[in-house]
Amino acid sequence: MTIRPAALEKSISIMGSRAECLTEIFRDEVNLAVWNRVLQPRVSEFAAALTGCAGQLDRFVSLSEGDSVALALPNWALKMDGADAWVADADELVDMFRVLFEPGAVGLRLHVLQGTMCPRFHVDRVPVRLLCTYQGVGTEWLPEEKVIRPKSSGPLPDQPVGASDSERLPTGAIGLLKGEAWVGNEGRGLVHRSPEPGEQPRLVLALDWL
């Protein structure tokens, strides 16, 4: 049996045009905070060029204090026009993540996706995850009133929703997705999935709290 949470228990999302809105993730009732921003042209151009050249790319690195996101790029990509601008932008995201959560290390995943990585709606078993889609369509997520949660502990059931029920993070936006491992957020992690890439492959950066 599955239930929908009572109205007073519903988590909410916060979106804003300033970076400061990301601090709203610390509110108990917020499980998604989004900074809607516009990417610099050189950053967007590099992202488009990288997805055009890389085919399928999956990079995983652990970043200690002082490490640069440049470690996640192949050597050939670092030589591309605009790589310095993209690295500077991504380094700012890592710095922001460190200031907010003070992790011992930051786990970085970088994907060029020609297909769908996680097509099923799911929750993350992490405290919080930062996502930024630099190229292509952004991550899809469900408002809490559309979510069906398990009555007791267990896997999230299939979500019988249509295309109009889900929402999407804008390309270039920075999203903080609160997961199941955030203290006090058990059973309330943000429900989301990877979208179909469509005509453009996706370049997705994710940061995790190690």
Question: Could you read off the pLDDT of 11-46 as tens digits, one per residue?
Answer: 999 999 999 999 999 999 999 999 999 999 999 999
Q: Which residue has the higher pLDDT, 116 or 165?
A: 165
| pLDDT at site 199 | 79
Scanning 23-155, the segments in alpha helix (DSSP H) are: 41-54, 75-78, 83-101
In this predicted structure, what is the pLDDT of residue 117? 64
Residue type, 146: K
Architecture category of domain 39-145+169-209 in CATH: Sandwich (2.60)
* pLDDT at residue 91 tops 50: yes
Q: Name which residue leads in pLDDT, 120 or 133.
A: 133
- 194 burial level (CB within 10 Å; 0-12, 13-18, 19+): buried
CA angle in degrees (0–180, nearest 5) for 39-42-47: 75
The domain limits of the chain are: 39-145+169-209
Note the pLDDT tens digit of each residue in 40-52.
Answer: 999 999 999 999 8
Rg (Cα) of the chain, in Å, rounded?
Answer: 17
Write out pLDDT tens, residues 182-199. Answer: 999 998 999 999 888 777
Q: What confidence score (pLDDT) does residue 138 get?
A: 94
Query: What sign results for the dihedral spanned by CA atoms 102, 209, 132, 62?
Result: positive
Average pLDDT, the chain: 89
